[in-house]
């Protein structure tokens, strides 16, 4: 169903909407920790539209009341399966700061007050279904909260290893990763009455271990509890078996049963990416929620364009590589431009596209040919690390430059911002088109400031983070400042910084402060205290207090007060240019 033929309909979230379609029963009911926002940026909406596209009747329940049956029962029991997601953000990350203080606001909740998303939402919603529907159809988990907890995982909020989430939730299956093809297969198999346990990209619990060379046994849950090095071994298998070209399935013994993770689902091709992006999303909050207030996230996602999925940057504290994958999958220029043109037909569009990008904006339009044919490299070989960019990764911004120019040329588009983060090391590495890309950004696609993420500047800390060295940042800043001067603009760089990452001591934060003062000539206004989230190497470091690649001991700050002190060191106000000069900040509005 194309954008041009878009009906003025959300997927149903009430009985009345079902009746208007002539439905007395749904095939699938999806439950999410977010309000129902029909947008290509909302995973539950994408899943719903995919299932709709293969002919299933789908309804969505956003942020159900967990103390009663009024919401979970309002669409009735589905015919094929329930789909459960904690939402677009892990519920524990959404609900708590890095120092475990409760967050009062939620950008995905109408009215903005954090009162609708329960802790461990995936578990709560599954139990809600079980409580009110006995012997029901299968319950299938999905989304980032479940995906990154599919095996034994470190849970920061209880400070212990937890079992795979299927064991804690009592759900039947889990679709992990992005899951586009897996959800198509699941809907088709269940509709046809076929056993779904052979589907790639699916996890389930079994009484017996799977047989065959396509599966690898990993350390048991008990072994991980007994030996932190075993947990490192498990995580490396988890991380290294996410590529659909070569990865094996995994199985892990948990008590007397097994968690089985089938091999990963294949990545979408460009044509399929285009098709999913062209579904008839309403790009708005469902009217059911409207009386409760606006959702803040719509300010940024309503008129934004997702150009690609995946990221091969592999920052150790980031879960994107484990969830979306390390191979870039792009949409075609034609499809992206069609979306931009569609915006101009919408009555509330003011000519401003909030973002054109992806997990890393300047990874659009190129990939390593070796990776595309053989899959991501193994044995800890990365496309980019703290020291260099792999020789076979030919960085080329030319396709991205042309795309941005074409979007600007669409009648009715006044401005198209690139608000997604960019890798400045890729800009400096692209000797043919890097400076041209940055000039394009400086002249047309930022407003006053550009976001970059050095996170730190100490070599030892950067090594543990998986980030490039500080000289690259110095070189990039000079290029950026020179281009702004040439263009007659006064635009700043804003820097994401992290305090208390594994391997980081107070002395390292003092070094970072000296660097920001003397090299960057600015006072950071904000820095983020590191949060160990499931699915990341940095969380493994935090729990084990070891470098997971060498298994050598490293320092890890675990005292909340000293974590905050690290943060305070770098945001302390300093004067520039001597004791008579005035303090200034060339990074106002900085976030981290």
- State the Rg of the chain over Cα: 24
- Residue 226 falls in which region: left (phi positive, over 0), alpha (psi -120 to 50) or beta: alpha
DSSP-assigned letter for residue 150: S
Rounded to the nearest 5 percent, the helix, strand and coil shares of the chain are 35, 15, 50
DSSP characters over 58-111: EEEEES--SSSSTTTTTT---SSEEEEE--SS-HHHHHB-TT-PBPSB-TTSTT
- Residue 224 annotated as part of some ligand binding site: no
Print the SS3 string covering 398-464.
HHHHHHHHHHHCCCCCCEECCCCCCCHHHHHHCCCCHHHHHHHHHHHHCCCEEEEEEECCCHHHHHH
Tell me the pairing of strands 153-155 and 160-162: antiparallel
Using N-to-C axis directions, what is the helix angle for 228-240 and 537-544, rounded to 10°? Answer: 180
Q: Is the dihedral of CA 116, 120, 123, 127 positive or negative?
A: negative
Token pair belonging to 335: 């499809």
Chain Cα centroid distance, residue 111 = 24
CB 263 within 8 A of CB 212: no
Q: Which residues are annotated as a binding site for [4Fe-4S] cluster?
A: 311, 315, 318
Question: Which residue ranges make up the annotated binding site?
Answer: 311, 315, 318
């Amino acid at each position: 169903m194309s954008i041009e033929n878009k009906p003025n309909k959300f997927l149903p979230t009430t009985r009345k909407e079902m009746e208007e379609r002539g439905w007395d029963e749904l095939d699938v009911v999806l439950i999410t920790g977010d309000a129902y926002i029909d947008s290509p940026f909302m995973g539950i909406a994408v899943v719903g539209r995919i299932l709709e596209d293969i002919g299933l009747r789908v309804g969505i329940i956003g942020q159900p009341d967990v103390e009663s049956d009024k919401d979970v029962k309002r669409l009735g029991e589905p015919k094929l399966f329930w789909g459960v997601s904690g939402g677009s953000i892990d519920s524990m990350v959404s609900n708590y700061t890095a120092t475990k203080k409760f967050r009062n606001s939620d950008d995905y909740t109408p009215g903005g007050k954090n009162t609708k998303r329960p802790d461990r939402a995936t578990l709560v919603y599954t139990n809600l279904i079980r409580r009110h529907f006995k012997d029901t159809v299968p319950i299938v988990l999905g989304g980032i909260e479940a995906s990154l907890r599919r095996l034994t995982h470190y849970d920061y909020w209880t400070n212990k290893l937890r079992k795979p989430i299927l064991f804690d939730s009592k759900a039947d299956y889990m679709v992990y990763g992005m899951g586009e093809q897996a959800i198509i297969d699941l809907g088709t198999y269940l509709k046809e009455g076929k056993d779904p346990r052979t589907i790639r990209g699916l996890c389930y619990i079994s009484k017996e271990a799977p047989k065959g060379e396509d599966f690898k046994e990993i350390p048991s849950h008990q072994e991980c509890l007994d030996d932190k090095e075993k947990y490192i071994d498990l995580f490396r298998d988890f991380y290294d078996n996410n590529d659909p070209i070569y990865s094996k399935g995994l199985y892990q013994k948990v008590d007397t049963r097994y968690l089985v993770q089938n091999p990963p689902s294949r990545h979408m091709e460009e044509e399929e990416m285009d098709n999913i992006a062209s579904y008839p999303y309403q790009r708005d909050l469902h009217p059911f929620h409207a009386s409760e207030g606006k959702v803040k996230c719509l300010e940024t996602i309503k008129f934004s364009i997702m150009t690609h999925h995946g990221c091969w940057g592999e920052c150790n504290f980031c879960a994107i590589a484990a969830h979306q994958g390390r191979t870039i999958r792009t949409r075609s220029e034609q499809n992206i431009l069609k979306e931009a043109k569609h915006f101009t037909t919408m009555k509330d569009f003011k000519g401003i596209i909030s973002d054109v990008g992806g997990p890393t904006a300047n990874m659009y339009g190129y990939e390593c040919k070796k990776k595309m044919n053989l899959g991501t490299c193994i044995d800890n070989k990365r496309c980019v690390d703290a020291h260099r960019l792999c020789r076979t990764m030919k960085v080329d911004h030319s396709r991205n430059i042309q795309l941005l120019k074409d979007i600007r040329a669409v009648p009715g588009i006044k401005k198209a911002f690139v608000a997604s983060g960019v890798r400045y090391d890729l800009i400096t590495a692209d000797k043919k088109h890097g400076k041209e890309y940055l000039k394009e950004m400086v002249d047309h696609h930022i407003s006053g400031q550009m976001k970059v993420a050095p996170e730190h500047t100490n070599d030892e800390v950067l090594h543990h983070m998986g980030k490039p060295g500080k000289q690259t940042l110095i070189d990039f800043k000079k290029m950026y400042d020179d281009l702004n001067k040439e263009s007659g603009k006064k635009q700043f760089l804003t820097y994401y910084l992290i305090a208390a990452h594994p391997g980081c001591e107070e002395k390292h934060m003092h070094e970072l402060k000296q660097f920001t003062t003397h090299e960057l000539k600015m006072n950071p206004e904000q820095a983020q205290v590191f949060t160990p989230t499931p699915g990341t190497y940095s969380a493994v470091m935090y729990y084990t207090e070891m470098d997971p690649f060498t298994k050598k001991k490293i320092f890890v700050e675990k005292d909340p007060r000293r974590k905050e002190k690290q943060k305070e060191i770098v945001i302390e106000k300093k004067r520039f240019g001597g004791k008579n000069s005035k303090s200034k900040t060339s990074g106002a509005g900085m976030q981290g």
